[in-house]
Amino acid sequence: MTGIRTEMGHNKYTGDLRDVTRYTAGNVQINIAKHSGYCWGVDRAYEQTVATANTKDGPVYTFGPLIHNPQTIDLLNSKYGVDYIEEVDDERAQEGSTVIIRTHGVPPEVQDQFRDKGAEVIDATCPYVRVTQNYAQLLHKQKYHVVIIGDPKHPEVISILAYAKGEGTVIKGMQDIDKIPKNKRRLGVVVQSTLILKKVNEIVNALLARAQEVRVFNTICYVTTERQEDAETIAKQNDHVIVIGGKASSNTKKLAIVAESFGAKAQLIEKPQEIDFAELKEAKRIGILAGASTPNWLIDRARDMLIEHFTKVAVAS
* pLDDT category of residue 2 using cuts at 50, 70 and 90: very low
pLDDT band at 8 (very low <50, low <70, confident <90, very high): very low
Average pLDDT over residues 255-268: 95
pLDDT category at 16 given cuts 50, 70, 90 is confident
Q: Pairing between strand 213-216 and 145-149? A: unpaired
Mean pLDDT, the chain, rounded, equals 93
Confidence of residue 229 (pLDDT cuts 50, 70, 90): very high
Quick one: pLDDT band at residue 1, thresholds 50, 70, 90? very low
Mean pLDDT of 216-223: 95
> What CATH topology corresponds to 4-39+222-316?
Cobalt-precorrin-4 Transmethylase; domain 1 (3.40.1010)
**Percentage of the residues of the chain whose pLDDT score is greater than 90:** 91
Give 189's pLDDT tier (boundaries 50, 70, 90). Answer: very high
Residue 15 has pLDDT above 70, yes or no: no
Does the structural domain 43-124 have CATH classification 3.40.50.11270?
Answer: yes
Which of 47, 87, 109, 156 is the catalytic position?
156
Please give the pLDDT value at position 11. 53
Average pLDDT over residues 3-32: 71
Segments making up each domain of the chain, as ranges: 4-39+222-316, 43-124, 128-216
CATH number corresponding to 128-216: 3.40.1010.20
Edge-to-edge order in the sheet of strand 83-85: 83-85, 60-63, 98-101, 120-123
pLDDT tens sequence across 63-122: 999 999 999 999 999 999 999 999 999 999 999 999 999 999 999 999 999 999 999 999
pLDDT digits (tens, 9 = 90+) for 301-315: 999 999 999 999 989
What pLDDT, on a 0 to 100 scale, did the predictor assign at position 6? 32
Whether 156 sits among the annotated catalytic residues: the reply is yes
* pTM, rounded to two decimals: 0.89
Q: Which residue has the higher pLDDT, 33 or 1?
A: 33
- Do 128-216 and 4-39+222-316 have the same topology in CATH? yes
Spatial CA neighbour of 161 closest among 187, 191, 182, 181: 191
**In the prediction, which pLDDT does 208 show?**
95
pLDDT at 123 over 50: yes
Over residues 256-268, the mean pLDDT reads 95
Q: What is the mean pLDDT of residues 284-292?
A: 96
d(CA 134, CA 123): 15
Residue 136 has pLDDT above 70, yes or no: yes
The CA distance from 94 to 114, in Å, is: 8
User: How far apart (Å, rounded) are the C-alpha atoms in residues 295 and 253?
Assistant: 16
